Amino acid sequence: MNNQDMRVVKSKKAIRDALFNILAYKPINKITVKEISDAAGINRKTFYAHYNTIEDIITEMENELVMNIDAYLKNCIISEYGINPYYFIQFINAIYSSNPQFCESIVSVHNYHFLAEKIKKVFKRQLIESLHPPEENRYITEFKVEFYLSGASSVYIDWIKQGKPCPFAELSVIIGNLILEPLFP
């Protein structure tokens, strides 16, 4: 990597880090490029050399995360563990645990559910491919997988919004029971 590339990497990292720090106390729609630039120790011209808008930073980070999840799923998790609700929730928790500040700021606190939807689409595609449903019944499988993933991810997001009122292990059991047991016995 030459010096020019290293400067780009350092500038983009500084911009991302600054955005994360500001997101801890301020909603994304209230953040300015000047704030990010000042916090990153760069000028606005440098910001605009890498991004057109603040949303471009978020989109880039989301896309990188989703690509990493897709690659991980293709390589092991579904073929190794199947579609057990517990493993799906564990995976979602691993994503959350890797950067709680980002997830809470983007996914729940500021009602930015696009990331959750992107992750769900990756899982849905991978699960359907792994199940190999007959073409004439594929839509039934797609509906079941959509219901399963939407429910699990919605409960998880609501758990974060409520301030994580129970331990994660208890949440996993609750979600597993909701998916596997009828709602009204």
Q: Answer yes or no: is pLDDT of 100 > 80.
A: no
- What is the maximum span of the chain, computed from C-alpha positions, in angstroms? 65
The rounded distance, in Å, linking the Cα atoms of 112 and 116 is 8
Per-residue pLDDT tens over the stretch 156-177: 778 877 888 988 878 878 887 7
The first and second tokens of residue 6, run together, are 């290293």
Mean of pLDDT values over 120-137: 81
The larger pLDDT score, comparing residue 31 to residue 178, is at 31
The rounded distance, in Å, linking the Cα atoms of 179 and 152 is 8
* pTM, full prediction: 0.66
The rounded distance, in Å, linking the Cα atoms of 173 and 178 is 9
Per-residue pLDDT tens over the stretch 17-33: 999 888 878 877 889 99
The rounded distance, in Å, linking the Cα atoms of 171 and 161 is 13
SS3 164: coil
CA nearest to 86, candidates 181, 175, 178? 175
**Long-range pairs for 8-14 at CB < 8 Å and ≥24 separation?**
8/50, 11/40, 11/42, 11/46, 11/49, 11/50, 12/50, 14/40, 14/41, 14/42
Q: Answer yes or no: is pLDDT of 112 > 60.
A: no
| Residue 73, number of CB atoms within 10 A of its CB | 19
